[in-house]
Amino acid sequence: MSPNPRVSIVIVNFCTRRLLRDCLACVRDEGSSGLEVIVVDNHSVDGSGEMVRTEFPGVQLIENTENLGFAKANNQAIRRAKGGYVLLLNSDTVVRPGALRAMADFLDARPEAGGVTCRLLNPDGSLQACVSRRPGPVMLLFRLSGLSRLVRGDRVRRALRRYLGWLLGSTVRSYLDPYIAGEFPVEVENISGACLMLRREAIDQVGLLEESFFMYFEDMDYCLRLRRAGWKLYYLPQGEIVHFVGASSGGRMRNFSVHSYRSLFTMCRRHFPPRTLAFVRLLVLLSSSLRWLWNLIAGSVTSSPACRRNREDLRNVIRLCLE
């Protein structure tokens, strides 16, 4: 760990000891003297904190006595970070050689850039969507309708963007842009907090992450704030990081679905007019109600425990929509 780091790496952890170990090992293998690593453990019960202290003594460890959420935990580390650049990095990532340097070098060369990300890969090597536009009604329809799942696979996404991009609209085009980026950087509107390298000057101007978001959408909110302050955001095809999507929640994605929708509504309340928030609530309500009904019918036929769990989860989402 460097006393005058070029990059401060911030990793928030919640019950992902094995993944966190792999992530920290990759960062250590970079062999750079210009790195500072800060891990914030959100009250894990799997021995994550002890593993960091024992196996990675050069890493700064902040151990919380409760789960403070993603935004608050990141802010704890950002306040302590000394680097000129601050990388928000999920614990469920594997950094491939050269990725950190590529992003830092890009920010060196682009003073107008407030943040950058590199290529995020799925475990099978396919390209992962890590940039998008803000969650307006079009993007929400795209996801809730299941259309986003129909365009999985690099070849399909590239073909859609190249040949039908003019027909799909700016929102869907922005979702597909990274797949045709080639070797050149692409300016984007939003970057996933799974891997987001920020310029210290931009953080000082815009402030910390909004802590009213417990989990999800705090990265999108922050990117909008950066852009409104005049900073640009970029997707960089150089550099690769493997991301095990969803694993950083400690295998408890179901428990966080209500947090996801609550954060979505907070996001819309902060950045959209009231009618848009009402429309988004209605979309989520209708979608969740239909899924609840489907699971009720399927559960009565199959007596599946999964259907019962789905109904309870969706019931909580429906209650949230009606608050």
Note the pLDDT of residue 254: 47
Note the pLDDT of residue 94: 95
Note the pLDDT of residue 259: 85
Q: What is the rounded average pLDDT for all residues in the chain? A: 85
- Tell me the whole-structure pTM to 2 decimals: 0.85
**Alpha-carbon span 143 to 194, nearest angstrom:** 19
pLDDT at 270 over 50: yes
Note the pLDDT of residue 304: 82
User: Residues 217-254: pLDDT tens digits?
Assistant: 899 999 999 999 999 999 998 899 999 976 555 444 44
Note the pLDDT of residue 126: 80
pLDDT at 307 over 70: yes
Q: What SS3 string covers the chain? A: CCCCCCEEEEEEECCCHHHHHHHHHHHHHCCCCCEEEEEEECCCCCCHHHHHHHHCCCCEEEECCCCCCHHHHHHHHHHHCCCCEEEEEECCEEECCCHHHHHHHHHHHCCCEEEEEEEEECCCCCECCCEECCCCHHHHHHHHCCHHHHCCCHHHHHHHHHHHHHHHCHHHHHHHHHHHCCCCCEEECEECCCEEEEEHHHHHHHCCCCCCCCCCCHHHHHHHHHHHCCCEEEEEEEEEEEECCCHHHCCCHHHHHHHHHHHHHHHHHHHCCHHHHHHHHHHHHHHHHHHHHHHHHHHHHHCCHHHHHHHHHHHHHHHHHHC
More confident residue, 19 or 276: 19
User: Residues 99-134: pLDDT tens digits?
Assistant: 999 999 999 999 999 999 999 998 988 877 766 655
